[in-house]
């Protein structure tokens, strides 16, 4: 599934509810999902990680949609490598 298609599916499924909640409330749900992902990573539970990665990405797409941002466009920032040095792999002296 393409990123733009995924964002459209999330919008069709949740946009009305998320719009009513607003960006602030939706951000709180996003942060909660990031915490759940942290727990899955700490527990090294692959199946749990898969679900939480999906949830985090869905909430991130929701936040972008609420602000009128298309994820497909913004991730292009990384399409040619590191946005700072332009290299793959990154050769910046600072660890990222």
DSSP 8-state symbol, 77: G
Q: DSSP readout, 1-69?
A: --HHHHHHHHHHHHHHHHHHHHHHHHHHHHHHHHHHHHHHHHHT-HHHHHHHHHHHHHHHHHHHHHTT-
Please list the rounded mean pLDDT of every run of 10 residues in the chain (96 residues): 97 97 97 98 98 98 98 96 95 79
Instruction: Give 24's Cβ-side CA count (13 Å radius).
Output: 0
- Does a structural domain hold residue 42? yes
- Does a structural domain hold residue 92? no
CATH number at residue 47: 1.10.287.1080
From residue 58, give the alpha-carbon distance in Å to each of 46, 80, 81, 85: 18, 24, 24, 29
Tell me what pLDDT residue 60 has: 98
Tell me what pLDDT residue 46 has: 98
Q: Which domain holds residue 58?
A: 3-78
How many separate domains does the chain show?
Answer: 1
């Amino acid at each position: 599934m393409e990123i733009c298609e995924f964002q459209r599916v999330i919008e069709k499924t949740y946009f009305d509810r998320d719009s009513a909640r607003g960006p602030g409330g939706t951000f709180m749900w996003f942060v909660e999902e990031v915490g759940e992902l942290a727990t899955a990573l700490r527990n090294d539970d692959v199946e749990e990680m898969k679900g939480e990665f999906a949830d985090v990405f869905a909430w991130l797409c929701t936040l972008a949609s609420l602000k009128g941002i298309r994820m497909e466009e913004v991730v292009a920032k990384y399409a040619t490598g590191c946005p700072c040095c332009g290299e793959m792999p990154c050769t910046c002296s600072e660890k990222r």
